[in-house]
Structure 1
């Protein structure tokens, strides 16, 4: 199959980019011919090594740029002739929709950022993939018909993106609590800081490490420095490879207020951390409904602190939850994601093939 992925860029900034790059590389490994159309970025080199071609399709939301991008996409589709176009962001879907209509090519969209209002436009796809069942339900409430919706739960294990990643654990004093994520309100870091302040009062040996960057990094640093636990909190900032931090940590915590299906959870599970995370959106699905990690209500520092203390104060419980993180972990493999996505492509292509067969039968008749 010839597959054209569209996304705004290939920079190491966003989860949807990581997911699309993982998928494209897995599909070429399965023998498909794959191209990525984007504004380019750091992952282009990896894509080239994995025999994924790249073409520049600018996604800047300026009228003249969008017209040029639409024409560039149309030209590329005419020459490259994909069997399916897979759009990963709203701008990608809007650009691809008229091109797919003119060319008679199915458009598949994946909803990565369901929390954005504009995500409703992902319903332009002839098939719409939700990265969790929670996302699919949300899209159905927004008016996308159930017949168009499929669920392909995110997974990263075995990703080409991890080639050459560090395997030596970061040396972190135990008990260590780790957060990896963007410094955005929906990630719930203020809840974690408030909870950890209570944890530290009961367990002064505990240490919190915050890895990641974002617009509110300075604000969150100030919040932590004003707390009684200030000396026990380390902000590591942006880290190119957070996996050694996960290997070195005892507990991985994700206190999100909204999170469709965070890739970081499969990485933390692969690293063998005990997991504590919010019971919101797709997080419970990534934690086997609470069997592979402890689920707590979002925005609730009391419950989060209690869950962390229950692990820190009991080495045997901590050991058990580290083991629990491995439950059914093979389901989070990128190969499973790729195979399930290919089934969605086949379903999207079926009406066009049926129409073509009918047309041929009429001509022969």
Structure 2
């Protein structure tokens, strides 16, 4: 089977869509499938070479002239690689693959990550649509995507080719108790809520420190918010880190305070690292935390509930250790290998249906 993935870029910048797609492509190549990626390029190109994944550099169009050039180049790539499956992970990719398919006989598969974006419905023009959580699948159904097109393939990060195994990672010497989030610094990630909650936590727990691992366009605003706190010296903006596991392995409590979250790859990583977890009860998060069995769930946007959950863990070491253990229980379903196998089944079903249609 020949598989062509379509991405905006291949940069190692903490983009969950890119990370999940690169993980999948590497596992497919490792399984003996012929894999190629179209993207504007980035740091993951070296990983692609390691896994013998062919990379076609194609920049996303910014003008009408660019669109024409993109269309011509995309058509040429499909004629050169002759994919059985084109797997698009972004809207421009699925539109291009659909409109430029012509006489090509590939099946088109899309994966929906950020279903909250207004244009996510366009991902439904693919022959098969993969949702990364049950929450995303429900949303796509409400947007009119036929149920027979939809498949749920939950994300997973364990066994990622992008990162070294945990036993090869050296934990950072964080100050304890350490509360950490790994997230883009965007409003939808609930960073403002987390900063407000930490002020309440810090009032009662004078040794607690907060580490924010990630970057984003709103970082300056969040830093100003932190500086206005009496506890600003215990709030650390660490920026984007290529190995967030160094933080997670030294973290006592991992927090994901998102207001919108289709899945949350960082939760999978935090579970593997054995962090006690507190996260918003929104979208796909409860699925990653198995309904609250693997981490505490609080109402999204409820600063008081978030601070109380954090304080409860800090007050009772026994509870903290119990939640760390619960996070690391039942992890097999979060492996990239499972994502690969379930995605392959989607491909095979789509190809079989196309074959039946052609032969009918």
What interval of TM-score do these two structures reach, taking the shorter chain for normalisation? over 0.9
CA contact (8 A) 2:159 2:165 kept: no
How many residues of Structure 1 are paired with residues of Structure 2 in the alignment?
358
- Give the match for residue 10 of structure 1: 10
Structure 2 runs not aligned, ≥5 long: none
Secondary structure of the structure 1 residue equivalent to 2:141 = helix
Cα separation, 2, equivalents of 1:248 and 1:343: 38
1:151 lines up with 2:152 in the alignment: yes
Match of 2:247 among 240, 245, 248: 245
Q: Mean Cα displacement is larger for which, 348-357 or 25-34?
A: 348-357
For residues 82-161 of structure 1, the aligned pairs below 5 Å read: 82-161=83-162
Cα separation, 2, equivalents of 1:273 and 1:105: 43
Cα separation, 2, equivalents of 1:161 and 1:115: 27
TM-score, normalization by structure 2: 0.97
Cα separation, 2, equivalents of 1:350 and 1:52: 25
- Give the match for residue 353 of structure 1: 355
For residues 1-365 of structure 1, the aligned pairs below 5 Å read: 1-13=1-13, 14-163=15-164, 167-358=169-360
Deviations 1:24-81 (A, max 9, x none): 0000111111000111111011011011110122223322212211111111212211
Task: Report deviation, 1:99.
Answer: 2.6
Secondary structure of the structure 2 residue equivalent to 1:103 = coil
Cα separation, 1, equivalents of 2:24 and 2:107: 18
Secondary structure of the structure 2 residue equivalent to 1:109 = strand
Cα separation, 1, equivalents of 2:274 and 2:322: 11
Cα separation, 1, equivalents of 2:314 and 2:102: 57
TM-score, normalization by structure 1: 0.95
Secondary structure of the structure 1 residue equivalent to 2:328 = coil
Q: Which runs of 4+ in 1 moved over 2 A?
A: 99-102, 163-166, 355-358
Secondary structure of the structure 2 residue equivalent to 1:78 = helix
Q: Mean Cα displacement is larger for which, 109-118 or 332-341?
A: 109-118
CA contact (8 A) 2:273 2:328 kept: no
- Give the match for residue 361 of structure 1: none
Cα separation, 1, equivalents of 2:49 and 2:164: 14
CA contact (8 A) 1:209 1:234 kept: yes
CA contact (8 A) 1:59 1:92 kept: no
**C-alpha RMSD over aligned residues:** 1.3
Q: Mean Cα displacement is larger for which, 118-127 or 163-172?
A: 163-172
Deviations 1:139-165 (A, max 9, x none): 111111111001111101001111377
Secondary structure of the structure 1 residue equivalent to 2:279 = strand
Secondary structure of the structure 2 residue equivalent to 1:347 = helix
Secondary structure of the structure 1 residue equivalent to 2:100 = helix
- Give the match for residue 362 of structure 1: none
CA contact (8 A) 2:9 2:40 kept: yes
